[in-house]
A and B are shown apart, each in its own frame.
Chain A
Amino acid sequence: MNQSTAITGFEAAAGNVADVHARNVPMQLDASLFEGVSINRSAAERRAGTLATRRTVKKQWQAAWLVQAIGCIDLTTLAGDDTADRVRRLCAKARHPLRDDLVAHLGLADAPPKVGAVCVYPTMVPHAVAALSNSGIPVASVATGFPSGLTPMDQRLAEIRYAVDHGASEIDIVITRGHVLGGNWAALHEEVALMREACGEAHLKAILGTGDLQTLTNVYRASMVCMMAGADVIKTSTGKEAVNATLPVSLTMVRAAREYYQATGFKIGFKPAGGLKAAKEAIAWLILMKEELGTEWTRPDLFRIGASSLLTDIERQIEHFVTGRYSAAFRHPMN
């Protein structure tokens, strides 16, 4: 994600600006960075299982963390029945994710929260760009034959260029899962490197489709190859696989990002997507980022959550913090 768009209003106002970090520069495939690595699933599951039992946030800390989570949401619609109006509604919510009275209670009226980005299909990009003008909220587009990625390469690259040309500043590409399953790392590297080239200034978010990759070792290796090929963000899922973002998979990916940072000095973002609906899940993933990578990785330039209904639950929880009463979804404007 590029810097100009990654910092949302409230963060700038709060002085909450992450250190500007250099954009990942693609490198040659170096198998030594992943070949010897084998991930132990039960160990990963135990760590994932205790992340949210070892850490928790309560009261104002919980409220603040939920505000932070809002800023990290890629508010998403990726459905066959998406229309221009539907996208405009989504964008309105993206600009104004939290009711004004709640924002005021939180003391954030001078810099109200906004979501991290809006994520749509390529043909919806123009509508989103128009609806978000002057908001500072970037438009992300899925591309490359989303969700399967099994269309001809030139078409996949053309799709990226189309979205970029129409104003998308982030491209959520999908990889060819078969390259991972077959251990064809060179092909994967080449594919993602070409996509990165096609992105130009736009940031590339590489969707691994972890539900299809099955093993955590595959997830780790695919993460590493995508980063070497120039991915700015690695992302778990399209939301269309049978299994979406899970904590053990996410743990494996952020550990790969940590390893890549240590090897190259480049900070890579992480985006879990699919199935994240509850505010407490957002907190769990923020804990994951803070514990495994550091506080810097809890901010929208390095952390996004792909979600659509999550925001509503966060709004309800924040209202509960403010009023002490349990809230209802219909009390919050829908997207």
Chain B
Amino acid sequence: MNEIRDILRSMDYGPAPEESSNVEAWFDSNKRRFGHYIGGSFVWPRGTESFAVFNPATGDQIADVANGSAKDVDTAFQAAKKAFIGWSSKSGQERSRVLYAIARQVQKHSRFLAVLESIDNGKPIRETRDIDIPLVARHFYHHAGWAALAESEFAGYRAAGVCGQVIPWNFPLLMLSWKVAPALAAGCTVVLKPAEFTPLTAIAFAEICREAGLPDGVFNVVNGDGETGAAIVEHDGFDKIAFTGSTEVGRHIRKATAGTGKKLSLELGGKSPFIVFEDADLDGAVEGVVDAIWFNQGQVCCAGSRLLVQEGIADRFYDKLKTRMEKLRVGDPLDKAIDMGSLVAPIQWDRVNELVQKGVEEGAARWCPSWTVSDKGSFYPPTLFTGVDPASILAQEEIFGPVLVATTFRTPDEAVSLANNTRYGLAASIWSQTIDVAFDAARSVKAGVVWINSTNLFDAMAGFGGYRESGFGREGGREGMFEYLKPSEPSKAKIIEAAAQMSAPLPKGSGSAATLDRTAKFYVGGKQVRPDSGYSDPVFNSKGVLISEVGRGNRKDIRNAVEAAHGAKGWGGMTGHQRAQVLYFLAENLQTRADEFAARLTAMTGASAKSASAEVAASVARIIDYAAWADKYDGAVRAPQSNMLSLALNEPFGVVGISCPDEAPLLAFISMVMPAIAMGNRVVVTPSPIHPLAAADFYQVLETSDVPGGVVNIINGNRDELAEVLARHDDVACCWYVGPADGSRLVEFESAGNLKSTWVNYGKSREWLNPTSADKKEYLRHACQVKTIWTPFGA
């Protein structure tokens, strides 16, 4: 027996296969055939078509899985709807116990789930065993806690309702847990569609739900392909749609759900930067790259796929990286000693390879380790491209494979510019040993998750989600819970009807020649400007008497206003304290002119002197409210690991478009603009088209209150016309709309272009005069996006 001696010579690792017989037995006991899980039963409806599920590493078929129809989706929806009343009315404590039981069951079956996930997806058993499944259990534990605390911590909110959830194939069970755990904690019920490549752990999870005593119908699975997913999205009944997947499909979902009033969260693609500064721990950063792009074969939405290296160290860093790449092991996912398994399917392999070939054709330098990967399955070697310029397809497109593209930068500013030179904004990894450099970059990158000197760290207590076209909504943490809650509805909400169109541009009212002509202009970049169109519209009072005229804004006015708003960047960089002072000053100045504003309201709307005064007083109070919040609506510091703090920062969106309703023309304007600017946003706001004068007067108050030019920009005109321009503007990050239902639909539909965040009223009136404190906080919540910065430490 010379084997030992041979091994002594080579010091090879040898095979280290994970036992898979338990999972194989489970396949066999199910006759390798898996249906849906609806209303607490596994079903295979008559006439169901099926699709084959393969083991990506071998290409062998594992099972047949039912392909759900729209009818199956509806059956599941009805089951979830039926279960909703019972589940949502349970006490938080009761729900908590079930979630806790699920977490325990996941732990008890952890190896089974890890092996199953590896077989189904092709990812290494090391990852499913050490990362995916522990995070799944962690997610249910964490949300068992939120369930228990829901009544006290989310007072004023209730369960969003029945949720349709569509999840991807890259982290099948983990993405399930990110969606299902908060939904169940909030009291929602769920219809989930797993990805057709990887449906099996969701089936196993359904079994776990049964064991854990989850009531029938609270969690349902409908398997199927993209059409099944579309059936969920298009189904009328769901109150909430949650999707993780490609930006293209996300865009489609945004359009399909526009105006329906369904809550929506989208976690989409990314092209996340991995920035290495010259003072970084280079060996540490090399290992970070391994975790960034060769984790899960690079099939990670937040993969650090764009390597940005400071010029002076680039060659050394590339050398180190290549040395490290030689040591990676690609092979059987069930082998415990491999780094990368198989891509999920041949079609993904083709897609990755096609992009790589294009990159080669473009002239980028490709480097792969000297060894080759198996032809069987869908194995792809770790691949490095250097000298990739930002215009290259490799730098722009999400490859979703083990392909890293590298480029150099000269200065920290340039690093941030390159990092932000993308439509996406999911994650960023920043490597520097200097805290100043690292934090400066962390604050400056447009990304929902930033890892300093680390990468691809996840925890249930830290929110995850993107900026820009990487989607909106957060998963995990307190912020993630809001995706499955909605404010308890004000009982008196009315339906806002569309107002009559403004009449012809030529004035023909009874304007008194004795009064000086006073035409409300626009307010852009701190200056009063005339409309680009050269047209004005009449403003009538409640009796139909012409009282003034107002400029008619068009798309160019909006364009100019957005540019002015971008020019006022300094506002976002000011401290909350500084912004608060400006707001207090505003309140003071409005107070001084209270009578004048009240008179104007009366003249415009016919409101009684008493109610007009009340509106002005409420406006002053509202400004003070948000001045008070300006330095207090702060984020959270969490400790997801013992040597790690994660900071959840409430960052302003940047430029926010605001469309105001006709009701309470001053107060609604104030109630929407103030929280937005208190948080550091700059706004382009369109006041009520029929009662525009109060807001127009207000620019004089802005001018006298040290509000920097460009922070508030006011354009009058047709609400929906201008809202459409704002919603379609790719440099506007967020749109708020309060008006008739059609406009809400329009804004949501058009926002799909750059997947901006939206907040609309679906034609329902809002309480302006006496909002609850929860209502007022909703404005702040919608004025910010949460950036989570992970900061490890250790001397």
B454 in complex: contacting residue of A14, A43, A106, A291, CB < 8 Å: A43
The answer to whether A41 and B13 have CB atoms under 8 Å apart is: no
The answer to whether A39 and B281 have CB atoms under 8 Å apart is: yes
Task: List the 8 closest pairs (A to B, CB-CB), nearest first.
Answer: A43-B284, A41-B794, A61-B14, A42-B792, A64-B7, A40-B281, A107-B1, A38-B433
Q: Which residue of A lies closest to B288 (CB)?
A: A43
Chain B neighbourhood of A40, CB < 8 A: 280-281, 284, 431, 433, 453, 792, 794
Q: Flag whether A133 is at the interface (Cβ < 8 A).
A: no
The answer to whether B2 and A107 have CB atoms under 8 Å apart is: yes
Docked Cα-Cα span, A157 to B7, in Å, equals 42
- Complex interface bits, B281-318 against A, C-beta within 8 A gives 1, otherwise 0: 10111011001000000000000000000000000000
Instruction: Give the interface centre of B10, B337, B644 by most chain A CB atoms within 10 Å.
Output: B337
The answer to whether B643 and A42 have CB atoms under 8 Å apart is: yes
In the assembled complex, the CB of A211 is this many whole angstroms from the nearest CB of chain B, namely 14
B643 in complex: contacting residue of A45, A57, A68, CB < 8 Å: A45
Chain B neighbourhood of A11, CB < 8 A: 8
- Complex interface bits, A83-116 against B, C-beta within 8 A gives 1, otherwise 0: 0000000000000000000000011100000000
B4 in complex: contacting residue of A46, A50, A64, CB < 8 Å: A64
Q: Flag whether B12 is at the interface (Cβ < 8 A).
A: yes
Docked Cα-Cα span, A209 to B361, in Å, equals 54
Q: Give the contacts of A31-78 with B (CB-CB under 8 A).
A: 36-47, 50, 53-61, 63-65, 67-68
Q: Give the contacts of A153-212 with B (CB-CB under 8 A).
A: none
In the assembled complex, the CB of A106 is this many whole angstroms from the nearest CB of chain B, namely 5
Q: Flag whether B11 is at the interface (Cβ < 8 A).
A: yes
B279 in complex: contacting residue of A16, A36, A47, A298, CB < 8 Å: A36
Docked Cα-Cα span, A54 to B792, in Å, equals 22
Which residues on B are within 8 Å of A, measured CB to CB?
A: 1-5, 7-16, 126, 130, 279-281, 283-285, 287-288, 291, 327, 336-337, 339, 431, 433, 453-454, 643-644, 792-795
Which residues on A are within 8 Å of B, measured CB to CB?
A: 10-11, 14-16, 36-47, 50, 53-61, 63-65, 67-68, 106-108, 214-215, 255, 286, 290-291, 295, 298
Chain B neighbourhood of A286, CB < 8 A: 11
B11 in complex: contacting residue of A42, A50, A255, A290, CB < 8 Å: A290
In the assembled complex, the CB of A183 is this many whole angstroms from the nearest CB of chain B, namely 16
Q: Which residue of B lies closest to A10 (CB)?
A: B8
B7 in complex: contacting residue of A39, A53, A54, A61, CB < 8 Å: A61
A57 in complex: contacting residue of B13, B285, B795, CB < 8 Å: B13
The answer to whether B336 and A56 have CB atoms under 8 Å apart is: yes
The answer to whether A55 and B337 have CB atoms under 8 Å apart is: yes
The answer to whether B9 and A16 have CB atoms under 8 Å apart is: yes
A42-B643, A42-B792, A42-B794 given; A295·B11 CB < 8 A: yes
In the assembled complex, the CB of A303 is this many whole angstroms from the nearest CB of chain B, namely 11
The answer to whether B8 and A16 have CB atoms under 8 Å apart is: yes
The contact sample of 19 A-B pairs, CB cut-off 8 A, is: A10-B8, A11-B8, A14-B5, A16-B5, A41-B643, A41-B795, A43-B287, A43-B453, A45-B794, A56-B16, A58-B15, A60-B14, A61-B12, A68-B11, A106-B4, A107-B1, A107-B5, A214-B795, A291-B327
Instruction: Give the interface centre of B1, B8, B285 by most chain A CB atoms within 10 Å.
Output: B8
Docked Cα-Cα span, A68 to B12, in Å, equals 12
Chain A neighbourhood of B1, CB < 8 A: 106-107
The answer to whether A43 and B281 have CB atoms under 8 Å apart is: yes
A14-B5, A60-B4 given; A42·B454 CB < 8 A: yes
| Additional A-B contacts beyond A37-B281, A61-B13, A291-B327 (5; CB < 8 A) | A15-B9, A16-B8, A40-B281, A40-B794, A56-B16
The answer to whether A67 and B8 have CB atoms under 8 Å apart is: yes
Q: Which residue of B lies closest to A297 (CB)?
A: B11
Docked Cα-Cα span, A106 to B3, in Å, equals 8
Docked Cα-Cα span, A53 to B18, in Å, equals 13
In the assembled complex, the CB of B382 is this many whole angstroms from the nearest CB of chain A, namely 14
Chain A neighbourhood of B291, CB < 8 A: 46
A38-B279, A42-B454 given; A58·B16 CB < 8 A: yes
Q: Which residue of A lies closest to B327 (CB)?
A: A291
In the assembled complex, the CB of A244 is this many whole angstroms from the nearest CB of chain B, namely 19
Docked Cα-Cα span, A108 to B7, in Å, equals 12
Docked Cα-Cα span, A15 to B2, in Å, equals 12
The answer to whether A54 and B126 have CB atoms under 8 Å apart is: yes
In the assembled complex, the CB of A14 is this many whole angstroms from the nearest CB of chain B, namely 5
Q: Which residue of B lies closest to A17 (CB)?
A: B9
Docked Cα-Cα span, A60 to B3, in Å, equals 8
In the assembled complex, the CB of B370 is this many whole angstroms from the nearest CB of chain A, namely 14
Q: Which residue of A lies closest to B15 (CB)?
A: A58
Docked Cα-Cα span, A10 to B453, in Å, equals 44
Q: Which residue of B lies closest to A43 (CB)?
A: B284
